[in-house]
Amino acid sequence: METALIILAAGKGTRMNSDLPKVLHRVASAPMLEHAMAAGATLAPRHTVVVAGHGADQVRAAATAFDEDAQVVEQTEQLGTAHAVAQARPALEGFDGMALVLYGDTPFVQPDTLEKMQEALSTHDVVVLGFEAADPARYGRLVMQGDTLERIVEFKDASEAERAITLCNSGVVACKSDLLFDLIDKVGNGNASEEYYLTDIIGLARAEGRSATVVTCAEAETMGVNSRADLARAEAAFQSRARDLLMEDGVTLIAPETVFLSRDTYIGRDTVVEPNVVFGPNVTVESGSTIRAFSHLEGCHVSRGGIVGPYARLRPGAELAEDVRIGNFVEVKNAQIAEGAKVNHLSYIGDATVGARSNIGAGTITCNYDGVMKHHTHIGANTFIGSNTMLVAPVSIGEGAMTGSGSVITSDVDPDALALSRAPQVEKPGMARKLRDMLKAKKAKMQRGS
């Protein structure tokens, strides 16, 4: 059966106390909405419909940035979860597969849990994702009869006996699309909140003699975010799980609690990550590399055998080929560094290509920006760039060329040439001593005078 995702993301998230819509707050460098979309995407959905409301334009931009085929529909008034799902109806006209409702503020639902729900739907009309809550608090309660889910009762509307139930509603629901919308048509708002509750579809389905059941998951998967404190807890939960998964995959984290990962961080086997490293979005590190302490990486690729840091910064577009070394206080941005090249100390390499096995001396800077435009620096293979060379782009250094330390290179250098551009050295014999004696005499005279 084909799948359509309906992701609810219209809520304001008042308790976030923010101008940003709640679902766009980030966990592991990615909007929470993206986490929910990514979990759903593993089912290869035919449609992804995001129901936006507060900050709809921003939500639309984030949804389509992650999946350009995502459809974003607007719920202008937030009248309840059933009303929110109803907004997806026009987008799913004629679709007769499974509709899966997810929440944009519940980032950790796992793909295999969603698969279990899909499976359960082959023998039931409605499937709800439930969990045993350590503290059921205000969650909707799942009223079971054997394996059958009879109805869901919201906390506000529940009796004492129902409030004693610990099996709770996560909010995730799977149902055949046309049946879902038929049931939603029948939902009213005669309840304590005067809202159209999606949860009412269970009782309605059962009244029609349809079957409903529950798939359960760990409570951690259903963790929702309502406040900044929840956001911090969600971040901690993500990081802890992601670090464990990396270590299971054969990556050494010397001090795992000090390494921060993004939703999409990929690190290959037998790579070692030293303490205090931050991986921003879109980083891939191949196997057998070493990321040394206090480095910051984002939007970059490190090939097999690379050594990065300590104290290195790889910015978007940094592409390191195999066995490249990037040392301390080196920043690389939008630059391809070919195999075996070394940039070991105190450099900025931006908008550049560096050829294989080239050695970039300490303090070298590609002067890529003229205040208005960015320009490219090309450095060929097997070059030796002397310390403190300023490469004023656009400029090209031929294969096998050298530059003298302290040179300001403003025009292209031919292959195998040595380029020097610095004031010639002059030497004045004995002058240092004379100068020092003169200065000492001057100081002594001043002290006598005072």
Residue 11 or 380 having the CB closest to ligand UD1: 11
To the nearest whole angstrom, how small is the minimum distance from the Cβ of residue 23 to ligand UD1?
7
* Binding status of residue 51 toward ligand UD1 by CB under 6 A: yes
To the nearest whole angstrom, how small is the minimum distance from the Cβ of residue 391 to ligand UD1?
51
Window 287-306: residues binding ligand UD1 (CB under 6 A) = none
Please check if 39 is assigned to a binding site.
no
CA distances from 23 to 55, 68, 242 (A): 10, 18, 21
* Helix or strand holding residue 7 (H, E): strand 3-9
To the nearest whole angstrom, how small is the minimum distance from the Cβ of residue 36 to ligand UD1?
9
Residue 223 or 273 having the CB closest to ligand UD1: 223
414: Cα separation from own chain's centroid: 43
Residue 197 or 279 having the CB closest to ligand UD1: 197
Please check if 140 is assigned to a binding site.
yes
Q: Which stretch binds ligand UD1 (CB under 6 A): 55-63, 195-203, 248-256, 388-396?
A: 195-203
Window 212-231: residues binding ligand UD1 (CB under 6 A) = 224
Instruction: For the chain, give the longest Cα–Cα distance.
Output: 110
Q: Helix, strand, coil shares of the chain as percentages rounded to 5?
A: 25, 30, 45
Residue 204 or 395 having the CB closest to ligand UD1: 204
Q: Where are the beta strands (DSSP E) in 104-158?
A: 126-132, 141-145, 148-153
Please check if 433 is assigned to a binding site.
no
Angle, alpha carbons 228-218-220 (nearest 5°): 15
Window 5-24: residues binding ligand UD1 (CB under 6 A) = 8, 10-11
Give the residue, chosen from 199, 303, 336, 383, that forms a contact with ligand UD1 under the rule CB under 6 A.
Answer: 199
d(CA 25, CA 32): 6
Angle, alpha carbons 149-153-156 (nearest 5°): 165
Residue 10 or 335 having the CB closest to ligand UD1: 10
d(CA 349, CA 385): 12
Q: What are phi and psi of 35, to 5 degrees?
A: -60, -45
Window 143-162: residues binding ligand UD1 (CB under 6 A) = 152, 154
CA distances from 382 to 165, 336, 357 (A): 71, 15, 5
Task: Return all residues near 297 (Cβ < 8 A) that are at least 6 apart.
Answer: 277, 278, 279, 280, 283, 285, 291, 308, 313, 314, 318
Q: Which stretch binds ligand UD1 (CB under 6 A): 3-11, 211-219, 415-423, 429-437?
A: 3-11
* Helix or strand holding residue 3 (H, E): strand 3-9
- Tokens found for residue 389: 């060379």
Give the residue, chosen from 103, 131, 260, 279, that forms a contact with ligand UD1 under the rule CB under 6 A.
Answer: 103
Q: Which stretch binds ligand UD1 (CB under 6 A): 78-86, 116-124, 318-326, 335-343?
A: 78-86
Which member of 296, 345, 375, 376 is catalytic? Answer: 345
CA distances from 253 to 119, 239, 250 (A): 37, 13, 10
375 assigned to active site: no
Give the residue, chosen from 3, 29, 81, 177, that forms a contact with ligand UD1 under the rule CB under 6 A.
Answer: 81
DSSP string, 153-179: E-GGG--HHHHT--EEEEEEEEEEHHH
Residue 110 or 344 having the CB closest to ligand UD1: 110
- The residues assigned a catalytic role are 345
Binding residues for ligand UD1 (CB under 6 A) = 8, 10-11, 51, 53, 75, 78-81, 83-84, 103-105, 139-140, 152, 154, 168-171, 197-199, 224
Binding residues for Mg(2+): 105, 226
Residues at the annotated binding site?
A: 8-11, 22, 75, 80-81, 103-105, 140, 154, 169, 226, 315, 333, 348, 359, 362, 368-369, 387, 405, 422
